[in-house]
Structure 1
Amino acid sequence: MRTGAGGGTVRELSVDSRDDPTAAGSSCLPLVQHGHMDVPHDQISTRELTSASGFTSEETESDSSSAAGTKGAGGIICQQTLLTSTDSVAVASGETNWSQSPTACLRGQHKCNWCAREEDLPEEIKPEIIWDLDRNQETYRVHFSRAGWFCCPETELEFEVRAAVTIQYGYSSWREHLTETQKNQWMVAGPLFDIRVEPTEAVAAVHLPHFLCLRDADNSRMQIAHFIDEGMTLENPTRVRSFHAVLENPSFSPIGVFWRRENSDQRTQLHSIVLLYQAQRRVNLTLHLYLIPDDGSRVKAVKDYEKECQSWFVSKSHFTAKPLHFDSLYIVSSPSEITVTPKELPFLDKPAEAFQPFTEVHTTDVKKELELSLVGKKDGKPIWEAVIRPEDLAPSGSSIKMQIDTHFVDQHREQLIKRVTAVDSILDSLHGVVLDPEQYQSIRAERTNPDKMRKLYELVPSWNSGCKEKLYQALKDKHRHLVEQLEEK
């Protein structure tokens, strides 16, 4: 099977990550299926790296000068891949504001009052985030140096492995693979994943997440769909858990969970979640309220769209009080004075590639608590409730305006001159894009890194926002930890 990305050099490192969505900002753009990733990393010695990975010092010595990460536990490590197009470097992994799923923090919590809790939780892993060369598509990668049962909180994918293995995986597109006939026969019941494994035989089982509420359901309607060159093939899951379909000794291609449609399909019960985002804040408060299946690929699509809007993720209860079924209608209710547009919020079967509909909730009073609930249009019964407090919201509009008006590279000029060490790599990223050959050579001729950064900053006042953004992206690629520290100030 295929492994790696871009055929680049591979380094081993351990990683860590957390959930802390970024603050609100400027006006919203059309739906964009990608986001930016803020992922810092620290330096780690060859000895620490060797101890964490189980490799000999000879195997890692060649990369010792620049290996990065934080010390791993239990022999679980991830990989950093250096892509070799225009000397650009793939994004490393670690702590991040936007990489993690907004609902990843709820792993292990009870999702449904009718389904049994998946009590025996696997060991959680922290995957590396890998971007393609155009920064339009991200995948995840992890290397296991020992046998075990592991879960990725980003995607809810689980792997049972019997030996050391490298796994790279990401969301794929159902829309690109399904024919109209297949869409009429089968309902998508979870994300479609593109999984690549080396060696394949090291994976004993894969646990694919699904969003079906299976109480009183006929599990024989569930199938695992594979998409290969010859077309789609179907396979019975080895067993079905409350939130996962398990396939033992799997082969890997685009793979996901299907549910066979029947006449009563419109009543199929589905686990669903509510996502809240605070739109750009000035004086009043505007919230975007989404109601979608508990599907990681759709959660990510919402997150990426709202990131482009520079919205603020409002962390509240996510799971609805009961399972829902597609094409049902709900209304936002509140004792406070609010404006809701549109007034009805449908629960729809929209693929991750499509725009996910939301209801806009607007209020002029942001000093008090705001009580919100979603109630069924037909029966008036609540399916979700939350209280939004002032401390849940983004910083003040004036703070956000300052962040918008003053670019990061201008705000932190002094610290960047002092602390950036990978100047040559940053210049390589800007060469031919922002810097012409003469400027590039002139800056490279300076003797020290601070002198090079000062020389680079001589050009910054004449740059437009696009050029500054190129420098910002290069800084994030090479100095994620530093960028993250400065952004938190």
Structure 2
Amino acid sequence: MSKKTAKSMITDALEDLSSRDLKKFREKLCDNEEPRVTRRSVEDADEMDLAELLVKICTEAKAVILTIDLFTQLGFSNQAERLRKGLEAATVPSQASSESRTKYVLEGGQHFIDKHRIRLIESITTVEPILDRLLAKNVITHENYTLIRSKSTSTQRMRELFELGSIRSTIKGKDCLFDVLMELEQFVMDDLKERS
């Protein structure tokens, strides 16, 4: 990052939390499906250790986005917003190209899939091919696949898909879903990109 490193941004954000909220953050991080973090690796970790761990297990850009996502899930909206603004002000290096980084993550650090969740649930009518591809990429399990297919309407199926931990809680899952939707529902996705 040109102005501030991912590690320092995350450390500063975590230092804003009370000790009780920091404990909640550690728990939420351990409950996250991906990246997997063991309780042992975070139980005695202070803010700087947690930031270092996040950057180590993710790319720098994804570490910041994951932290924002966890803050949002925990209801720490002020800290999430401050970190989002810090992300906007910085240039985050990524292993992905600049083009692919912007296709997933919008200004403010919000993932495209999260921002357009409602419209995607309402717009997508053929869910099975999406499930087939997500299953092939190991983003969902056979149990997930069967559960989602058992729903009677496409809206219910899409809603159930968005509630899966691998989609709701992981950047990788959201990125995979984005790619699958670009392949199968390009008109819908292009329309949402224009609205962004």
Whose helix proportion is higher, 1 or 2?
A: 2
Q: Look at both structures and tell me which one has the larger radius of gyration over its CA atoms.
A: 1
**Greater RCO (Cα-Cα under 8 Å, separation 6 or more):** 2
Whose strand proportion is higher, 1 or 2?
A: 1
Give the TM-score, by structure 2 length: 0.45
Give the TM-score, by structure 1 length: 0.19
